[in-house]
Amino acid sequence: MLSPEMLLGQRYRLRERIAVGGMGEVWRAEDTVLERTVAVKAMLPSLLSEPGFTQRFTAEAKTVAALTHPHIVNVHDFGNADLPSGETTAYLVMEFVEGKSLADLIAERGRIDARELMPIIAATAEALHHAHVHGVIHRDIKPGNILVRDRDGRAVLTDFGIARSGASGDLTQTGAVMGTASYIAPEQAEGTGVLPASDMYSLGVVAFHGL
């Protein structure tokens, strides 16, 4: 779909693919206007024609852009771009976090010392509290969505792609099971409804996994 040196939105020069997920790809890119490194999340073109995917992607941009917090990834821009293949992709431009995900750290070490892990968990809890106060439930808390900066060890919560906002509750209805099976709360697995406490349950599972 995407390739190095491709220019999205006549502004963002793709440099390196850093992740691939169910909705699309994440790239390290250069903002050619502000001359800074950013992360670009691009939706798979094949999903654009499916009901709900474009709406969810757009909602992610609006959801995260409205959440200003030191432990939540910053959103800079959003748009659509035509690709050389003739397809169209929607993209989200975020701050680039120089570091690794908590999943990467667990995979490398097997376990994380509690003195290092607990500040990461506490910071993520603060981020979730901020999101919950603003009516947003993340719904997919897992080690892969918690980034840890190399520079200072600060945790940054990312990937609100399946988040539910009180202002747009129709995006994910009761009965729809979304999230990562190993970490979701019982009520989320049953599809009976998701609460802020569901995020906190998932965070507890993350802590257990890390230890």
Give the residue carrying structure tokens 């050389």. 84
The torsion angle over the Cα atoms of residues 32, 34, 37 and 38, rounded to 10 degrees, is: -90
Task: Report residue 72 as tokens.
Answer: 């939540």
State the catalytic residue, choosing from 77, 104, 113, 140.
140
Q: Residues 12, 31: contact at Cβ < 8 Å?
A: yes
| Pick from 128, 101, 123: nearest CA to 112 | 101
pLDDT of residue 45: 86
Domains, the chain: 7-95 (3.30.200.20), 99-210 (1.10.510.10)
Please say if 77 is a catalytic residue. Answer: no
Q: Is the sign of the CA dihedral 63, 174, 192, 162 positive or negative?
A: negative
Bridge partners (DSSP) listed for residue 42? 25, 91
CA angle (165, 166, 169) in 5-degree steps: 75
Cα–Cα distance, 129 to 131 (Å, whole number): 5
**What is the enclosing helix (H) or strand (E) of 28?**
strand 24-31
Please give the model's pTM, rounded to 2 decimal places.
Answer: 0.85
Which secondary-structure segment (H or E) carries 13?
A: strand 12-20
Are β-strands 75-82 and 7-8 bridged in parallel, bridged antiparallel, or unpaired?
A: unpaired
Give the range among 23-32, 80-89, 96-105, 159-168 with minimum mean pLDDT. 159-168
Cα–Cα distance, 134 to 119 (Å, whole number): 23
pLDDT digits 0-9 by tens, 50-70 = 887 778 778 778 888 889 999
pLDDT digit string, tens, across residues 76-101: 999 889 988 888 888 999 999 999 99
Reported confidence tier of residue 164, pLDDT bands at 50, 70, 90:
low
pLDDT at residue number 179:
59
| C-alpha distances out from residue 119 to 112, 122, 176, Å | 11, 5, 32
